Structure 1
């Protein structure tokens, strides 16, 4: 599998629409492949916006698309965590009532980062090693970890303070976590597409 470049901008990438090629311009083969792949996700526009930064990496296989999507999800999680750490620190210093639910949410994001990191490494092994009879075991590992990361993100959303408490900060937090959950959902769908090329039926939903 061709090695995908990882621009530093991805660390703070918000998946803005400016990454998408103009409608009148003819997309490159990689861009066209990404767009076709993203149509099978729950959030196709977000998928295309986030993965268009990889259009110059000669993406031409389901595995490459899945690898790129998982990488985007990981950097989304890292970006979200960096913001949440600051919020949690401020709340702790103020001895605010909302510190504990935010801290619990942060723990979920940490878990998700670990799981996405393992998923990326595992999927990369499938392209670099002769896994033989262990192929389906590796596939199952990735699916389990990405599914768990998605569950962690949705659990985090549920744990954030309800109602009007910390309304401004809560809105920003929820927006970041929701964006992470959506990109992870897309990554899971694209991984299922890759697994399906080997006759592996998905056991979890994106």
Structure 2
């Protein structure tokens, strides 16, 4: 009888232990995300976008930057899809307002460029995994590539936002502006998180260069 009670008790104990350990890990990951996001221009948005990954293992600043870039790419893809549909509708039904169609089409091109650049940046960041803690010119070159692509993606998304100045506009154009603005803001946050990761390499490289 005692042996029959031991197994259920052990299962309950292990379950409670695992739940406690997972909760502790989630709390630590969320704290790390929040402290990292405090260095971005839009910390609340940063935390909101990344806190759903608190159940996962975030292996330091490089992994966090990679997750942030993935979020940015996802938002850019969603926005591009919306813009393509709007441009298609405008081209089909709104022949009188060619200027609006051209503005939206320019936005499509800009966000499409952002998608390409963010995709390249993510691939380049993954290549850095091969170097671990090695510091050399090749690592710095990969870092520079990521910074360039993400900065350009941010510029393109911001250009789309600026295509719709003022506050008096149709609901559709207001929605485009909000979506493009969101892409720009999450990309800005991803760039800040990547800068935070890259700064440790740059500082180490500078110290290495100064050595006699």
1:78 and 2:80 are equivalent in the alignment: no
Structure-to-structure mapping, 1:63-102, within 5 angstroms: 63-94=62-93, 95=95, 96-97=97-98, 98-102=100-104
- Give the deviation of 1:55 after TM superposition: 1.2
| Aligned counterpart for 1:178 among listed residues 178, 181, 186 | 181
- Give the deviation of 1:36 after TM superposition: 0.7
Q: Distance in 1 between matches of 2:167 and 2:50?
A: 34
Q: Distance in 2 between matches of 1:162 and 1:89?
A: 24
Q: Deviations over 1:161-204 (max 9, x none)?
A: 76645x11011110100011000000000000000111259xxx
In structure 2, the partner of 1:7 is: none
Q: TM-score, normalised by structure 1?
A: 0.80
Q: Distance in 2 between matches of 1:109 and 1:58?
A: 30
Q: Distance in 2 between matches of 1:55 and 1:189?
A: 19
| Aligned counterpart for 2:129 among listed residues 122, 127, 130 | 127
1:199 and 2:202 are equivalent in the alignment: yes
Q: Distance in 2 between matches of 1:146 and 1:200?
A: 21
Q: Is residue 140–residue 202 contact of structure 2 (8 Å, CA) maintained in 1?
A: no
Q: 1:67 to 1:175 in 2, by over 3 A?
A: same
Q: Is residue 102–residue 160 contact of structure 1 (8 Å, CA) maintained in 2?
A: no
- The runs of 5 or more residues in structure 2 that have no matched partner are 1-22, 205-212
Aligned length: 176
- Give the deviation of 1:158 after TM superposition: 1.9
Q: Is residue 73–residue 184 contact of structure 1 (8 Å, CA) maintained in 2?
A: yes
- The runs of 5 or more residues in structure 1 that have no matched partner are 1-24, 202-206
Q: Is residue 77–residue 109 contact of structure 1 (8 Å, CA) maintained in 2?
A: yes
| Aligned counterpart for 1:159 among listed residues 145, 149, 163 | 163
Q: 1:162 to 1:42 in 2, by over 3 A?
A: closer
Q: Deviations over 1:70-95 (max 9, x none)?
A: 00000000010111111100100022
Greater helix percent: which structure? 2
In structure 2, the partner of 1:4 is: none
Q: 1:35 to 1:162 in 2, by over 3 A?
A: closer
